[in-house]
Amino acid sequence: MAMVTGLIPILRTALEATTDYNGRTMWFGFAVVRLIALYVSEIPWGKLDQDFDCKGVNATEFCRKSCFSSHFNVAVVSLWNSCYVYFIASLLLMELFTSQLRHNLTKAALKKRLAHGEAALSGTWSTELAHKDVVLDFHQQKTLLLLYLGCILMRLVGELTFLYALVFWHLPLVSEDSFPCTTELCPGTLTCLVRFPAEKRMALYLLGFLSMALAVICMVFGLYSGCHYLIKCHTKNETPV
């Protein structure tokens, strides 16, 4: 139910918006896929405390919790959700600027129409324009293109950071089925284990594969957009009239 609730505003934003640009549907599609992947990956990690157990001379509940806090000393699920919020924020940032650009284009077109003496139909015409789809051309909107490339760079940095956390922070937590544990509060050595490690590793592999795929797509799409639009715009400006 929580996943469906999270999907609704994303799908509504993607379907109801009247401003479109290159790759918009693809990015919102990845937002939906990633939300589903998060939902699936959180299932084996949802009861982490119950899946952690210790055996030994001082195997009390207090020592078990002490070893649990010592072993899982980095955020896991909360970090996944924070990275997803970061990804959505980069999408909404682009949506915010495209919405403002659409508003400016509508005002400019309305002023131009009023300048030609068509004030009588200006109200009806502006209402009709507000319901028409606007496809933004990066060839003409260089500032918006730079913002778009900046948003892609934000996603690339976020994905690489998330991938680093998965490989170097989270995967070592479940790389071994059992391990010795000694803390300052419990001097005796305990043998602790994490149940269902294979499922937890598979969840990390899923998120890592998706994050790596998104990082590659960010690099390819960013290079393509930069070369295709910036170079063409530069060449077009240098062409003699």
Count the helix, strand and coil residues of the chain and give each as a percent rounded to the nearest 5: 70, 5, 20
Is residue 172 scored above 90 in pLDDT?
A: yes
Mean of the per-residue pLDDT values of the chain: 78
CA atoms of 63 and 59, how far apart (whole Å)? 6
- Tell me the pLDDT band of 183, cut-offs 50, 70 and 90: confident
Q: Where are the domains of the chain?
A: 2-52+93-115+129-179+193-238
User: 212 in the Ramachandran plot: left (φ > 0), alpha (ψ -120 to 50) or beta?
Assistant: alpha
The average pLDDT across 63-77 equals 91
What are the pLDDT digits (tens) for 142-155?
777 788 888 889 99
The answer for residues whose C-beta is within 8 angstroms of residue 234's C-beta and 6 or more apart is none
**What pTM was estimated for this model as a whole?**
0.78
Any idea what the Cα angle at residue 132 is, between residues 127 and 138, rounded to 5°?
Answer: 125
In the prediction, which pLDDT does 184 show?
85
CA atoms of 9 and 221, how far apart (whole Å)? 25
In the prediction, which pLDDT does 129 show?
47
In the prediction, which pLDDT does 25 show?
80
CA atoms of 34 and 15, how far apart (whole Å)? 18
The average pLDDT across 221-233 equals 71
What are the pLDDT digits (tens) for 8-22?
565 565 555 545 666
Looking at the chain, the whole-number percentage of residues with pLDDT higher than 90 is 33
- Tell me the pLDDT band of 76, cut-offs 50, 70 and 90: very high
Is residue 99 scored above 80 in pLDDT?
A: no
Question: What's the one-letter identity of residue 9?
Answer: P
Name the token pair of 201. Answer: 């590793």
The average pLDDT across 33-47 equals 91
CA atoms of 70 and 74, how far apart (whole Å)? 9
The average pLDDT across 198-212 equals 95
In the prediction, which pLDDT does 128 show?
46
The average pLDDT across 111-136 equals 53
- Tell me the pLDDT band of 125, cut-offs 50, 70 and 90: very low
In the prediction, which pLDDT does 45 show?
92
The average pLDDT across 89-100 equals 81
